[in-house]
């Protein structure tokens, strides 16, 4: 099969999956939800240059590792996409 044939076979659209951040917010409540929102805000409030240079402890990697070690599968990429507004939630 050549590239022209391969490109002519457009796959069916997939259902838009919800952002991992939105899913997690649905699972958490009370103190856990408040603490998560506060931690996410700490990461979000840091200028991108600070987050990328790891000049502050509140990074997407830190948050993802903390959540994962507590039973909530999360990657730093999921958090970063949410912060940039590139997830299914859309721009913040």
What is the pLDDT, as a whole number, of residue 91?
A: 63
* CA within 13 Å, CB half, 39: 20
What is the pLDDT, as a whole number, of residue 47?
A: 75
pLDDT per residue rounded down to tens, the chain (92 residues) = 689 888 888 888 776 678 999 999 999 999 999 999 999 999 988 776 665 666 667 889 999 999 999 999 999 999 999 988 888 887 65
What is the pLDDT, as a whole number, of residue 50?
A: 64
What is the pLDDT, as a whole number, of residue 51?
A: 58
Listed in order, strand segments (DSSP E) in the chain are none
| DSSP three-state, residue 35 | helix
Domain extent listing, the chain:
17-84
Residue 50: CB atoms within 10 A of its CB come to: 13
What is the pLDDT, as a whole number, of residue 26?
A: 92
């Amino acid at each position: 099969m050549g590239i022209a044939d391969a490109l002519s076979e457009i796959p069916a659209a997939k259902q838009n999956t919800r952002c991992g951040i939105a899913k997690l917010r649905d699972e958490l409540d009370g103190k856990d939800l408040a603490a998560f929102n506060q931690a996410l805000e700490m990461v979000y409030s840091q200028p991108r240059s600070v987050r990328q240079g790891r000049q502050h402890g509140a990074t997407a990697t830190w948050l993802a590792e903390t959540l994962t070690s507590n039973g909530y599968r999360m990657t730093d990429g999921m958090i970063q996409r949410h912060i940039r507004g590139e997830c299914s939630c859309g721009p913040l």
